[in-house]
Amino acid sequence: MKTIQLALTTVFLLGLPGLVSAQDEEEQSKEEKERQEINAMTKETLDRLFAETTGSKGLYDKAYGYAVFTGTQTALALSGGRGKGVAVDKKSGGRTYMKVASVGAGVGVGIQKLKTVFLFETKERFDRFVEGGWEGDSTAGAAAGVDGAAAARSFTNGMTFYQLNDKGLIAHASVKGTKYSKNDKLNAGG
């Protein structure tokens, strides 16, 4: 009887690391899948931006780096949203996966899916965004450089951004009340 208990205990203890390892692999697999989805969304969004927005490819070519986010904005009495994305250093190809959250006051009811593309003119501006996170404020709307249907044609304070919804470029883009920060979970395994 003791021999059987000892054998079962040994089998259990030897199998336990395999179970833990399998769970770790499953978690890493989920994170890798999420990174792949973000990378695919990034490529699709950039392709769409360049095809639909005159001058955006020229600014992208001049940019040190960029960040692309997808998210959902919900408006009731308050508005809010969340999303995810990636910031890319064009020189090194390094990717920093990030998350986004927003909150604000607004009138209206609805849900809107948005894609936001940031272009950074310099390494310093890119690094400040990635390392320190960034919170959109009232000056962010001016940084967009959008007036009516005309899209940004230059950098303002070292960056510019575009927002697209399912209908195209948003003429009066705003990231006010939006916070961008690193996604530690996705960066840990990448």
Dihedral sign of CA atoms 24, 26, 28, 34 in order? negative
Euclidean distance between CA atoms 152 and 53, whole angstroms: 9
The secondary structure of residue 154, as a DSSP letter, is S
Q: What's the pLDDT score for residue 150?
A: 46
Q: Residues 99-151: pLDDT tens digits? A: 988 766 555 556 678 899 999 999 999 999 999 876 665 344 433 444 334 45
The pLDDT assigned to 81 comes to: 73
pLDDT of residue 147: 39
pLDDT digits (tens, 9 = 90+) for 164-174: 887 776 655 55
Instruction: Please indicate whether residue 130 or residue 23 has the higher confidence score (pLDDT).
Output: 130
Q: Burial of 82 by CB count in 10 Å (0-12 exposed, 13-18 middle, 19+ buried)?
A: middle
Is the per-residue pLDDT at 90 higher than 60? yes
Q: What pLDDT, on the 0 to 100 scale, is given for residue 22?
A: 54
Strand order in the sheet with 78-89: 134-135, 178-182, 95-105, 78-89, 65-75, 110-120, 159-165, 168-169
Q: How far apart are the first and last CA of the chain?
A: 48
pLDDT on residue 140? 43
What tokens were used for 51?
Answer: 């095809």
pTM for the full model? 0.73
